[in-house]
Structure 1
Amino acid sequence: MNIIKRMKSPTPKFFRKLRNFGLIVTAAGGALLAAPVAIPATLVTVGGYLVVAGSVATAVAQAVVADRQ
């Protein structure tokens, strides 16, 4: 199965929830990074980690396909 076909295949329910959670985490991290006010460096670092973790979780969850039995 090639990558295009895998990404278009149906995703199991648990991994759809995990994908959505990853998107929320990524958005929260992006909001911290793009905050127009001065925030402590620790929060900026946490925002970067949230963006990376959310992106990885979303990509992995999207790549899982339902077993056709």
Structure 2
Amino acid sequence: MKLSDRTKKPTPKFFKVLRTIGLTIAGIGGTLVAAPVALPAIVTTIAGYFTVAGGVLSGVSQLTVSDDERALKDEK
């Protein structure tokens, strides 16, 4: 399946929830990394990991599709 075909298919509900969680984690990590105050090095390091993990989680969740016809009817 091509990437363009995959992006046109619907995402299952479970992965929509995971995508939202991933975006939230990435947002929190990005906010901590870009904080205007000096934070301890461990906090900045963990925030960097949060940003990467949240981005990967949301990216993988966005490209997960359902080929099950029954699941597609439930989405509508």
Match for residue 51 of structure 1?
A: 51
CA RMSD across the alignment = 0.8
Q: Which runs of 4+ in 1 moved over 4 A?
A: none
Q: Aligned letter for 2:36?
A: P
Deviation at 1:8, TM superposition (A): 2.1
User: Could you state the TM-score of these two structures normalised by the residue count of structure 2?
Assistant: 0.86
Q: Aligned letter for 1:37?
A: V
- Distance in 2 (alpha carbons) for counterparts of 1:21 and 1:8: 22
Contiguous gaps of at least 5 residues in structure 2: 70-76
User: Could you state the TM-score of these two structures normalised by the residue count of structure 1?
Assistant: 0.94
Q: Aligned letter for 1:62?
A: Q
